[in-house]
Chains A and B, each alone.
Chain A
Amino acid sequence: MVHAEDIQSALHKIPWFNELTPEHFQKTSELAHLRHAKAGETFFREGDTQDYVYIVLEGRVSLDIFVPHHGKVRFCTAEPYDVFGWSSVTPGIRQRTAGAVAVLDCTVACLDAEKLRQLAEKDHDFGYLLMRRLANVVASRLMVTRLQLIDMFAEPTETLND
């Protein structure tokens, strides 16, 4: 069993958590636990119900989608202090649209998504901070996705025979 002090000291390493009031920090740490995963372990698969939102503390987690004829395409990785599985906290689809697997040995903080949502509904001050943080996570992820979409290293379709 992970001791409360362990999870709390782990969360203190993450910058956002240090912006919370002591009360909010306490409540959040109560719905969080640490997980140590070996390389190759799965966190969730496409289609799973969304139960946790995750923050990487050590290691690397990769998100993938299975594309017929292409196999599993890894389209994103989460590094230390990156959030993944955030869609479980934002309103909307309740099934995972991608899979998450550890590619290196990892330590990950897992936050109970349902309880986090409830906390945000009851306490709007906390809810605002949470959503603000998530907005930043999603925004930066969107920016990366856009650059991936532009496919800047792709072979050009037209070349000039000079």
Chain B
Amino acid sequence: MTTTLINTSAHSAGYTDKLLLPHWAEIVKIIPEAEGVTTLIFKFTDSEVQERYRFEPGQFNMLYIPNYGEAAISMSSDLESANGLLVHTIRHIGNVTRAASRLKVGDVVGIRGPFGTSWPLNTIEGMDVVIACGGIGLPPLRGAIQRIIRNREKFGKVLLLYGARTPKDLIYPTEYEPWQKAGIEMQVTVDRGDENWTGRVGVVPMWFYNFKVDPHKTAVLTCGPEIMMRFVIFEALARRIPSTHIYVSLERNMKCGQGACGHCQQGPFFICKDGPVFPFSALENIFNVEEY
């Protein structure tokens, strides 16, 4: 006996009491990105699920590899760019994600999703947008970048700041030029460069010193290590950008994806359900409390 049909963007589960059951998805393509980072592209084996599955950039899936467990992985593209397929750029760092690195095209995994809140692209139409991200924080924003490019005329100036540890850790390097051609100003920075690196060496938050923003019409989307986001937020607030216009994507230990198991809580929020994307104004009281 099933309960409510899920009325939000079409979920793989279909019903609210099936949210803990994975649907099988096959790997159709594997793209190595950087050391320890791979993009896996999936298609549900059940064509009916594949047909109705919808998601928004910023959301995530729970990836299930039997015998290993589940990991929360952000959507790494928007729906249209991948023709409805599920694109996930994964850093192989934990038990499940390392198992994912051993998968081959044709292997089948379980997917539950999509979960969480998305980047509020509708809300920030008409504004200038600063996208500040680093490391593995770029994949969750890529879908937003693609959506913005698809609707470029709806936004003002768009500036993408991206940082990584070293030049060889940069993700999606072949897309930087197409993005810039599509009207996204992009600045790449690395923590340290080698002799062949002619780009910027520094950290993402410092970019705010090099350009002027109009605080009344600028929105900031940021995703990456929490310390990087903390300084991006600091610089943005210092330039009087209201905290309601600064959006962050948080990460916590996630198990169920729907605010039922308790693990991902920070303060009153379930990061999986009330986030992972939040306006900073919602987090102001809890974000900087140590070990909260």
Kindly identify, within residues 118 to 132 of chain A, every residue whose CB is under 8 Å from any CB belonging to chain B.
none
Kindly identify, within residues 36 to 73 of chain B, every residue whose CB is under 8 Å from any CB belonging to chain A.
36, 69
Quick one: which of B95, B203, B224 contacts A162, CB cutoff 8 A?
B95
Kindly identify, within residues 184 to 211 of chain B, every residue whose CB is under 8 Å from any CB belonging to chain A.
191-195, 197-203, 205-206, 209-210
CA gap between A154 and B192 in the complex, in Å: 12
CA gap between A74 and B190 in the complex, in Å: 9
A37: interface (CB < 8 Å): no
CA gap between A7 and B193 in the complex, in Å: 32
A104: interface (CB < 8 Å): yes
B202 touches A144 (CB 8 A): yes
Query: In the complex, which residue of chain B has the Cβ closest to the Cβ of A102?
Result: B198
A155 touches B36 (CB 8 A): yes
Query: In the complex, which residue of chain B has the Cβ closest to the Cβ of A76?
Result: B201
Contacts of A73 in B (CB 8 A): 192-194
Contacts of A21 in B (CB 8 A): none
A60 touches B200 (CB 8 A): yes
Contacts of A2 in B (CB 8 A): none
Instruction: Identify the stretch in B10-18, B149-157, B225-233 within 8 Å (CB) of chain A at 4 or more residues.
Output: B225-233
Query: In the complex, which residue of chain A has the Cβ closest to the Cβ of B229?
Result: A152
Quick one: which of B93, B209, B228 contacts A159, CB cutoff 8 A?
B93
B195 touches A74 (CB 8 A): yes
A160 touches B95 (CB 8 A): yes
Query: In the complex, which residue of chain B has the Cβ closest to the Cβ of A40?
Result: B198
A 57-73 to B, binary, CB cutoff 8 A, 1 in contact else 0:
00010111000000111
Residues on A facing B (Cβ under 8 Å)? 39, 60, 62-64, 71-77, 79-81, 103-104, 140, 143-144, 147-148, 150-156, 159-162
